[in-house]
């Protein structure tokens, strides 16, 4: 394949596994990993790596020209919980990075862009069960506002300048290689670490808080799949709903107990409860399944086995 890929935010939770998978697919030298700081050793040593601030559009252009980059995956963002602490900073990072990359695509420096949106782009007035692709979207978090605005910027650049930008509304992503940071769905990662370390976990969401979630492998597969799909099949240029599993803290704890019978969960909710309560519980992703044959592999049972096996 002749594409050369730039990943911005390559040391983050999704970026680190995406880098690895893209390097396997396109060849190590065809995938340039960048992040604001060095992190993941695999990422920095398995192929080209550069320090890059996602909001530095000039810096991005230099790297695009140096490596003859054709595609950008923009994975840098401030997640929901941290963004509530630094609303202004979150807006600047999440918006300026996207607008910069879209401008580079408009000016034909790059051919294709991937940018993730989130279930956070929905809000308390959206239907919570089987949330449709197109529905009321009134997010109440700064992260959600930035994602919804970003979706419309993507659509605008596609319609007005024919920029080939593609996007997915990720649910909470569960992984064992790199931990997430500053998200509301992070509990579903931490719980596995703590189950093995301490046989107990204090959860910051209440027992019945149902949220859409997905195992990392499925998220990576979806991300690469949407980018490799024929452009004619990408019918949504805001962002696609994407779903795999939905569960509550109580349900994930019960699944873990099947492997670690002594495991105990307790609950002490904080400000993240309000964020979670504003999001959908179950997402309808039939459009992604129809347009680009998306299909998930991991349910709660299989994911729990994988998580515990790899963390042990």
Going from the C-alpha of 67 to that of each of 4, 30, 33, 64, 70, the distances in angstroms are: 7, 8, 11, 6, 9
Candidates 15, 139, 150, 172; binder of ligand SER (CB under 6 A) is: 172
Residue 291 CB, nearest distance to ligand SER (Å)?
21
123 binds ligand SER (CB under 6 A): no
Q: Please, which residue, 185 or 281, has the CB nearer to ligand SER?
A: 185
Which part of the chain contacts ligand SER (CB under 6 A), choosing from 179-187, 237-245, 248-256, 293-301? 179-187
94 binds ligand SER (CB under 6 A): no
Cα–Cα distance measured from residue 303 to residue 259, given in angstroms and rounded to the nearest whole number: 12
170 binds ligand SER (CB under 6 A): yes
Binding-residue total with ligand SER (CB under 6 A): 11
Active site residue 67: no
Q: Please, which residue, 97 or 185, has the CB nearer to ligand SER?
A: 185
Candidates 31, 69, 79, 148; binder of ligand SER (CB under 6 A) is: 79
Asked if 152 and 238 count as a contact pair (C-beta separation under 8 A), the reply is yes
For the chain, how many residues are written? Answer: 312
Query: Helix (H, G, I), strand (E, B), or coil: what is residue 90?
Result: helix
The structure tokens 């997905």 sit at 214
The DSSP letter of residue 294 is -
Residue 3 CB, nearest distance to ligand SER (Å)?
27
Cα-Cα end-to-end distance for the chain: 37
Q: Kind of pairing, strands 245-247 and 211-215?
A: antiparallel
Which part of the chain contacts ligand SER (CB under 6 A), choosing from 17-25, 38-46, 68-76, 180-188? 180-188
Tally Cβ neighbours within 10 Å of residue 231.
Answer: 9
Candidates 19, 40, 184, 238; binder of ligand SER (CB under 6 A) is: 184
Catalytic position from the list 26, 73, 114, 143? 143
Sequence-distant (6+) residues with CB within 8 A of 66 are none
Cα–Cα distance measured from residue 23 to residue 201, given in angstroms and rounded to the nearest whole number: 36
Q: Please, which residue, 104 or 288, has the CB nearer to ligand SER?
A: 288
Task: Report the catalytic residues.
Answer: 143
Residues that bind ligand SER (CB under 6 A): 79-80, 118-120, 143, 170, 172, 183-185
């Amino acid at each position: 394949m002749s594409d050369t890929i730039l990943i911005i935010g390559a040391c983050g939770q999704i970026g680190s596994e995406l880098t690895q998978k893209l390097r396997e697919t396109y060849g190590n030298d065809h995938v340039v990993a960048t992040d604001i700081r060095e992190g993941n050793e695999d990422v920095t040593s398995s192929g080209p790596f550069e320090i890059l601030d996602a909001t530095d559009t000039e810096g991005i252009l230099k790297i695009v020209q140096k490596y003859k980059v054709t595609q950008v995956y923009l994975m840098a963002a401030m997640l929901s919980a941290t963004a509530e602490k630094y609303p202004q900073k979150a807006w600047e990072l999440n918006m300026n990075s996207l607008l910069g990359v879209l401008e580079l695509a408009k000016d034909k420096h790059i051919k294709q862009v991937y940018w993730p949106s989130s279930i956070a782009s929905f809000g308390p007035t959206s239907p919570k069960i089987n949330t449709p692709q197109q529905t009321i979207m009134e997010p109440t978090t700064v992260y959600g506002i930035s994602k919804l605005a970003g979706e419309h910027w993507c659509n605008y650049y596609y319609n007005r300048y024919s920029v080939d930008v593609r996007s997915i509304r990720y649910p909470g992503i569960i992984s064992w290689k790199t931990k997430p940071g500053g998200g509301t769905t992070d509990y579903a990662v931490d719980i596995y670490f703590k189950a093995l370390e301490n046989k107990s976990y204090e959860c910051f969401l209440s027992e019945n808080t149902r949220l859409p979630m997905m195992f990392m492998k499925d998220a990576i597969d979806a991300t690469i799949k949407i980018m490799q799909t024929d452009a004619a099949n990408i019918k949504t240029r805001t962002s696609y709903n994407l779903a795999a599993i939905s569960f509550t803290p109580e349900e994930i704890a019960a699944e873990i107990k099947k492997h670690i019978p002594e495991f105990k969960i307790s609950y002490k909710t904080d400000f993240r409860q309000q964020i979670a309560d504003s999001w959908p519980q179950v997402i309808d992703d039939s459009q992604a399944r129809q347009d680009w044959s998306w299909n998930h592999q991991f349910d709660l049972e299989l994911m729990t086995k994988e998580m515990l096996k790899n963390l042990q």
